[in-house]
Amino acid sequence: MTAAQQGLTLLELIITLVIMSILLAIGVPGFKSTMENNRLQSQSYDISAALSYARIEGIDKAVNISLCSSTNSTSCRTDADKNSWTDGWILFRDINANGSVDFPDCSDDSKDCVLKVWPSLSGSSVLTATSNFMTFATDGRLESSTLTFTLTADTPANCGANQKKTLSLLSTGRLSVTESDCP
């Protein structure tokens, strides 16, 4: 009696590796696109939540609540790229309605202060808006006209089908989100 063969031959191993390589070559690009879609979708949810939170805070606290782009987590962005929200944004009490954070802490409810900070976006996403600043009044209305945010991957090569998110905030405080292909 002969013993049964154990293990793989070199030919079987090479064929297995070739098949795995072909499957990976087909699957990885699709998986990368799925990961990018999920990241952009998650970021658009974060932006929507920030806008809703700002609106609710204005109503709940009965004071003007402002949201603005920020690079330092303590004040509104004022540089040439101020309509870029990619580096993060802050939510602050704007009691005197001057559009700036006047006090660093929130120990006194009668003064402006930063209530919440959102960090920069992860990955290569780019978030721009038609303004770097907005204020919600005590009744939940936006004190300016419609504001539009655009969230995309950083380059057209990285941006595919339905990877451009447009968030439109009406003066009534209503938010709508649409998806489209990148330009």
- Position 21 in a domain: yes
- Position 1 in a domain: no
pLDDT of residue 8: 80
Domain membership of residue 20 as a residue range: 14-180
- Position 7 in a domain: no
Answer yes or no: is pLDDT of 56 > 80: yes
pLDDT of residue 157: 65
Answer yes or no: is pLDDT of 58 > 70: yes
- pLDDT, one tens digit per residue, over 114-142 is 999 999 988 888 899 998 889 999 898 88
Answer yes or no: is pLDDT of 55 > 80: yes
- Position 176 in a domain: yes
Query: Can you point out the beta strands (E) in the chain?
Result: 65-69, 89-93, 113-118, 126-129, 133-136, 147-152, 164-169, 175-180
* Rounded Cα distance, 82 and 101, in Å: 16
- Position 84 in a domain: yes
- Position 5 in a domain: no
- Give the count of domains, the chain: 1
Find the CATH number of the domain harbouring 65: 3.55.40.10
82 or 2, greater pLDDT: 82
pLDDT of residue 3: 63
- Position 49 in a domain: yes
In the structure, what pLDDT confidence band is assigned to residue 44 with cuts at 50, 70 and 90?
very high
- Position 9 in a domain: no
Report the predicted TM-score, pTM, of the whole model to 2 decimal places.
0.79
Answer yes or no: is pLDDT of 164 > 90: no
